[in-house]
Amino acid sequence: MRSALPAVLALILPLAHAQEHWKIQFFYDKPDAVFDIRDLACPTAQRCVGAGAIADQKGHVKSQILTTSDAGQHWTMQDFSEEPVSLFFLNENSGWMVTDHGIWASDEGGRSWKKLDGLKGIVQVYFLDPTHGFAIGYPKAIYETTDGGKKWLKVPAAQLPTGKAEDIVYDCIAFHGQQGAIYGRVITERSRRYRLWLTPNPERVGKQTASELFLLETYDGGKNWKLSTNAIVGQITELRFTNDDGALALVEYHDMYALPSAVLEVKPGSQRAQTVFGERDRAVTDIALAPDGEAFIAAVEPPGNTNQVPIPGKLKVLRSTNLRVWEETDVDYRASAQRATLAVPDARHAWVATDTGMILALEPRVAPQASSR
């Protein structure tokens, strides 16, 4: 006789999650300016760091860093001298920030920053430990450091793909232990109009066609890299390794494609890939995995009948314990965005930031108090 436990769990887990909702903790609500929170990192359940830029109606841009040390009950804003691009935190103290003019490091949880050796054109950094890390970007650029970023050396494997350096950008990196993957792509004439180091995921317009994708893999922490090349439709913008040596990849498509995005279950280096999420009315902009393997998706409901419109749509967050059944969670009705970024230190504590100046936290829903009458 087959056990009824899986069926029972399928009923219980959605009920448990239904008691949670995404509540706005921070909202930069100014009528004449927009706060584009470009990245958010929450290395622990108490400490989070956000980075972005405020643009007013006159075109003035002011960079900002957001920090909290009490799980988002209070957020502190501070001005910054360069435009943030992305964040990476190894623990609650040690973090790095990529900007339009270089890389900065913090050993105080994002409260203060020190500029490192001046690399430009960088999109992301990833550190395996406090001293050993990688920086990737444009043109055809991969750098490695063994002293926390004070000095960077070029990784020769970056030159393995054929083609001119100015035609290739590396903009996606992930590690799981000593196993690592770096994705690169050919820059189209369309994307040349945008400053890639300021906007890692450029605006997408026009008909979607297949383009070359470069994958550099390592199984020894970056000592050796192996190149594979493939042609895919869309652009891989995020990669998250799972606990079983697989990975989730976010592929974003153009407006003319049938879907705005798809989340794939892949084996880096293998041609096999299985779609685990893809819906016409859910444009996924970020994916995250909790330490226990639970997956989260941040998406936007595109307004109108097109996948990509320069108008914010309703924010949607979904989660799954098995990558097959996705539960749509309750999100504050005011939350809207064109892009949203997830930070998930564990399955019970999660945050999502938007390019419209909002940070929402996953919180238990408070039951209404019984009347004393």
Please report, in tens digits, the pLDDT of each residue of the chain (373 residues total).
Answer: 444 444 444 444 444 455 789 999 999 999 899 999 999 999 999 999 999 999 998 889 999 999 999 999 999 999 999 999 999 999 999 999 999 999 999 999 999 999 997 798 999 999 999 999 999 999 999 999 999 999 999 999 999 999 898 999 999 999 999 999 999 999 865 443 334 434 444 443 345 567 789 999 999 999 999 999 988 888 899 999 998 878 999 999 875 567 899 999 988 767 778 999 999 999 999 999 999 999 999 999 987 666 555 789 999 999 999 999 999 999 999 999 999 999 999 989 999 999 999 999 998 755 445 444 4
Q: Which among 294, 285, 292 has a CA at the least distance from the CA of 262?
A: 285
- Residue 265: other Cβ atoms inside 10 A: 18
Q: Which helix (H) or strand (E) element contains residue 7? A: helix 5-17
Greatest Cα-to-Cα distance within the chain, rounded to the nearest angstrom: 77
Strands 20-27 and 330-331: parallel
Q: Which among 121, 236, 119, 144 has a CA at the least distance from the CA of 185?
A: 236
Residue in this structure with the two tokens 């390794």, named with its chain if needed: 241
Q: Is the pTM of this model over 0.75?
A: yes
Query: How far, in Å, CA of 319 to CA of 294, rounded?
Result: 7
- Which pLDDT tens digit goes with each residue over 133-145? 999 999 999 999 9
Which DSSP symbol is given to 69?
S
